[in-house]
Structure 1
Amino acid sequence: MIELINSPGFWLAVMQIIAIDILLGGDNAVVIALACRKLPKAQRNRAIIGGALGAILLRIAMIFFALQLLELPYLKLIGAVLLIWIGIKLIVPEGEDAHDNLAPSPKLLGAIKTIIVADAVMSLDNVVAVAGASNGQLELVIFGIVISIPIIIWGSKLVLHFMDQYPIVITLGAALLGWIAGSMAITDISLPAVPAWAHYAAGAVGVALVLTIGKFMVSWNEAAGDRSETERSE
């Protein structure tokens, strides 16, 4: 374990996991706020901590199974496709009513349950991304999540504000997911062994796919919105 911690690759993977958790954790921070909004102020911190602890344990279990699945043929290729789609969704903004169907609970245990369940449903993208970045090392996953969860909970407003102020952060995050997708796809056990440079080439292809398709979809949505405005004004 000590040799692993002293490895530069370990810390690079940890930084990737933290970046993924922060970038994809914005929605989770919103869920926590919505789930707790009907609680008395004195109970909100307990709900946040209880829900976060439950979400951490559940997410680690999900990632453990994801790591096992990624050892099966073709599943890394499928995971890479999912990661590319997640990166594209990160670039394309969601509708304002994305969380309107989340019902807050006026009771502490109800709010904790809501946080855990909602986090499990919404963290599928996070699980796939972290599994791809971890290179199959569960201890690395646990380390990265333990570090990033407090950042998401207590620093979510700051992170979200920073992402709003500097949209390039979103684009860089999407590019990171594309890089992980390409690098993961080429290591699928159904494919023959490739030279080291091929991993960088595959990562670059993943980045190009995410950014090109994402920017195209943004332009398409903006054009569609302009057409709708024109039709309504006529």
Structure 2
Amino acid sequence: MMELLASPEAWAALLTLTALEIVLGIDNVIFISVLVSRLPEPQAHRARQIGLALALVFRLVLLSLLVWLIGLTEPVLSTLGYSFSWRDLILIGGGLFLIAKATHEIHGEVESAHDASEKKSAGNAFFWVIIQIIVIDLVFSLDSIITAIGMAEDIRIMIAAVVIACAVMYVSAGPVSRFVAEHPTTKMLALAFLVLIGVALVADGFQFHIPRGYIYFAIAFSAAVELFNVLARRNRRKTEKPGG
């Protein structure tokens, strides 16, 4: 252990892998933030805690199953000139789920048809949010850990990077969720991000890798523009108050 702490290569690997895991965790945080935005605050807080705890548990469990995970990248199905591994099939399924869920939420936001049904099924809302968080946590955890295996050789470095990244996710999830809930246009933007991320996951499943740098640059640029819009609206309200 002391040799590992004294190794510059180990620290470089930890920093690089932690940064990558934090970036990959952004998708997880956005999805959880959108899902819990329809719940009352006490339930939303509990759902966030459960979702992020499960994200950490799934990642650590998957790290303990390294041999099995490596086997998931072996082809198990060939059709139409494509060979698919279990990882590919899981990414395609998870990507389609994200696209379908985000599209359904966008439709609900535009049509405002969800309010009545949500009040009737309030008792089941929390349960279904947790189920959806579990499904997408599994998909993101699998993608995250297989990426970690390709970047680091020492499992202790992988575990440390995953724990640090999940801690950052835990700290940021609350503010992100509140911001999304308070600003409807930001929520629509977050849903558009989820469609984009879902398309990227499906593309990965078909061995067509879209560099994540392009996706996260688009997300960061759009988020920056939306932030300026939010600030501009807030300033307009302040200047209109005295005259009103």
**TM-score w.r.t. structure 2 length?**
0.47
Between structures 1 and 2, the one with greater helix share: 2
1 or 2 for the larger relative contact order (CA 8 Å, sep ≥6)?
Answer: 2
**Normalized against structure 1, the TM-score is what?**
0.49
